[in-house]
Amino acid sequence: MTEQDDRIAEALTGALRRHAEGAPSSDGLAERVLARTSTRRTRRGFGAVAAVVLAVVVLSLGAVLLAQDRGGDPVAEPVLPQGWRWESYRGVAIGVPTSWGYGVPGPSWCSRTPEAERPPLRSGAVGRPAGMRAVGCPSQYPPLAEREQWLTFEDSGEVGIREFDGGWVEETRELDGVFVTLFSANDALRAQVLGTLRPTSEELALGCGPMHPAAEGRGYRPEPGGPLAPGEVRSVSVCRYARSDAVPSGPPLLAARVVSGDEALRLASAVLTAPEGAGPDDPESCAPEYDYGPELILLHLRADDRSQEVLVRYAGCEGNGTDDGTTRRALTGDLMWALDAPPTSPGQFQVVVAQLMR
Amino acid sequence: MDGHGVAADLEAWIDVHGGALLRFAYLLTADRDRAADAVQDALVAAYPRWERIVAHGDPGAYLRRSVVNAHTSRWRRSLRREQPVADVAGLAGQIDDPADRIAIEDALWLLCRSLPRKQRAAVVLRYYEGRSDAEIAATLDCSVSTVRSQIHRALATLRTRLADDEEEVSSP
């Protein structure tokens, strides 16, 4: 290094030290970070995870970039092409075009509504395991004119590539015990979608942790926080979990979505203004092992400066209602309708709860 | 360590080291908002694997690397390009005078912002953090010789830019 370089280096050190003083303050940094991790419900920053995830999606410019986890090295968050979204199911996440809808009839495709009422074909759809009518359709997939690209999550399956008529291909990949199948006639898109398959995280799952103690037992209650008014709520992460002992081993997160604006206000109003109490329950209708139901929903309500977790039980014969750690409330029709949006629509509930939606 | 233990541990680390990480990010980005975003993103991303990171021995190194990766990643780089303007008129080689020193430091700060991001990261790690070539190489995920090359080229660029600006001022 030349003497001039030494002088420049010395000046550089001075410059950097002096200008480092212009850095943002670390006051509140821990709170903001922990709020975004959604693990400490009572220490809240405004960290809207939805905004983070949306930013990742919107700011992405090119092909999917996936980094390998290299032990202790930082792992770059995967970036989806613009106009794509993440779907999470039981510990895995995969990117799909935002234009794709929800609900896959699968082998029961021929039991769909009569042709006159049949909804327009979608470019694609995402399906999760659910009860379906056993219908003996003439083929595994609909005729060419009625086909949509279908991506399904399943807890069992057969890895491989299977060819169908008209150039349509069904490919199944497995990750951490979850079998993801894509049925498509677009080989490039199929490769691109399946190429995004990876373990999910709280960020990819829109603020929903893949694991949560609420799924492990009936004793869980959220950490109590200060009163939150519906008008303060800026976004809500809706996390649908299976009860851990109701699914094969692995993360119980079944689906996640995040809402903001009017939809967040509607959901927050429904959950925060429901009458105090519990139910409706129907304890006579269930065997003890099913009393609290096989699934539940956790809501993460986020205001500018804090957030609150609310547990919603609706699937059992007992224990139905909401709980924010301070106040238990009864389910209402407004709340059940507000929750009835894919992919986190309640998968099942008892008659007494279904009657709320009449 | 359960979730609350991890959160408490991470919080304690941030309380002690968060400010330094923000200063490092600010020197890389030269933008308060982007620095804050980069640090928050790095910490949030680190949370799920915090125990492993701590066990690895140096959370600070991990997080600096995360911030650098975010700063130099393609999609972020494509979003915005700074167009710094360095007013280094009249800056001669003499920097013993305090006023000249401040002026040249300001000029260098502006010129630093025009360096390629890997070079700028290497410069910040060397001349602000005081890191060794090996540490910088680990952070930038490159070889030690590349680090030396990056720093050498950065200094050459700064020296040339200072000289060019001086010539421009003295030319008719």
Domains of chain A: total: 2
B22, A71: Cβ pair inside 8 Å?
no
Q: What is the pLDDT of residue A78?
A: 62
Q: What is the pLDDT of residue A12?
A: 85
In the listed set A147, A168, A199, which residue is the last one of a domain according to the structure? A199
Q: What is the pLDDT of residue A189?
A: 96
B40, A40: Cβ pair inside 8 Å?
no
Average per-residue pLDDT in chain A?
A: 82
Q: How many Å lie between the alpha carbon of A74 and the closest alpha carbon of chain B?
A: 6
* Same domain? A221 vs A346: yes
A144 falls within a domain:
yes
Whether A22 and chain B come into contact, CB under 8 Å, resolves to: yes
Amino acid letter for position A226: G
Asked if the model's pLDDT at residue B117 lies above 50, the reply is yes
* Same domain? A169 vs A237: no
Asked if the model's pLDDT at residue A227 lies above 90, the reply is no
* Same domain? A175 vs A68: yes
Q: For the sheet with A307-313, list strands across it.
A: A253-260, A235-242, A295-302, A307-313, A321-323, A328-329
Residues B119-124, mean pLDDT to the nearest whole number: 90
A91 falls within a domain:
yes
Pick from B108, B118, B107, B170: which is nearest to B140 by CA? B118
Chain B residues within 8 A of A1 when measuring between CB atoms? 152, 155
**Span B16-26, pLDDT tens digits:** 888 889 999 99
* Same domain? A188 vs A218: no
* Same domain? A191 vs A246: no
**Span A21-53, pLDDT tens digits:** 888 888 888 888 887 775 433 333 333 333 333
Asked if the model's pLDDT at residue A255 lies above 60, the reply is yes
* Same domain? A304 vs A335: yes
Q: Which domain holds residue A349?
A: 213-357
From the candidates B31, B108, B160, which should be mutated to test the interface with A, based on the most A CB atoms within 10 A?
B108
Which tokens in the block code for residue A159? 């890895």
B47, A76: Cβ pair inside 8 Å?
no
Residues A218-247, mean pLDDT to the nearest whole number: 87
A36 falls within a domain:
no
pLDDT-derived band of residue A106, with 50, 70 and 90 as boundaries? confident
* Same domain? A187 vs A57: yes
A26 falls within a domain:
no
For chain A, how are helix, strand and coil distributed in percent, rounded to 5? 30, 25, 50
Integer Cα distance of A41 and B79 in angstroms: 34
A22, B32: Cβ pair inside 8 Å?
yes
How many other CB atoms sit within 10 Å of the CB of residue A354? 13
B101, A14: Cβ pair inside 8 Å?
yes
A8, B155: Cβ pair inside 8 Å?
yes
A276 falls within a domain:
yes
* Same domain? A188 vs A283: no
Nearest residue on chain A to B91, alpha-carbon basis: A8
A2 alpha carbon, distance to own chain's centre: 57
Q: What is the pLDDT of residue B59?
A: 86
* Same domain? A227 vs A348: yes
Q: How many Å lie between the alpha carbon of A66 and the closest alpha carbon of chain B?
A: 12
A307 falls within a domain:
yes
A20 falls within a domain:
no
Q: What is the pLDDT of residue A313?
A: 95
Residues B30-41, mean pLDDT to the nearest whole number: 85
Asked if the model's pLDDT at residue B47 lies above 50, the reply is yes
A3 falls within a domain:
no
Integer Cα distance of A223 and A221 in angstroms: 7
In the listed set A156, A171, A199, which residue is the last one of a domain according to the structure? A199
B26, A59: Cβ pair inside 8 Å?
no
Residues B115-127, mean pLDDT to the nearest whole number: 88
Q: What is the pLDDT of residue B55?
A: 81
In the listed set A138, A172, A199, which residue is the last one of a domain according to the structure? A199
Integer Cα distance of A93 and B160 in angstroms: 49
Asked if the model's pLDDT at residue A56 lies above 60, the reply is no
| Among B25, B35, B44, beta carbon nearest to A203 | B44
Q: What is the pLDDT of residue B167?
A: 47
Integer Cα distance of A239 and B104 in angstroms: 55
A29, B14: Cβ pair inside 8 Å?
yes
* Same domain? A259 vs A186: no
Residues A13-27, mean pLDDT to the nearest whole number: 86
SS3 category, A153: strand
* Same domain? A180 vs A235: no
B48, A72: Cβ pair inside 8 Å?
no
Give the number of A-B residue pairs with CB atoms closer than 8 Å.
158
pLDDT-derived band of residue A73, with 50, 70 and 90 as boundaries? very low
Chain B residues within 8 A of A52 when measuring between CB atoms? 41, 44
A residues 38..57 contacting B (CB < 8 A): 39-40, 47, 52
Residues A172-198, mean pLDDT to the nearest whole number: 94
* Same domain? A195 vs A217: no
A16, B124: Cβ pair inside 8 Å?
yes
Q: Which has more confidence, A114 or B162? A: B162
Nearest residue on chain B to A75, alpha-carbon basis: B66
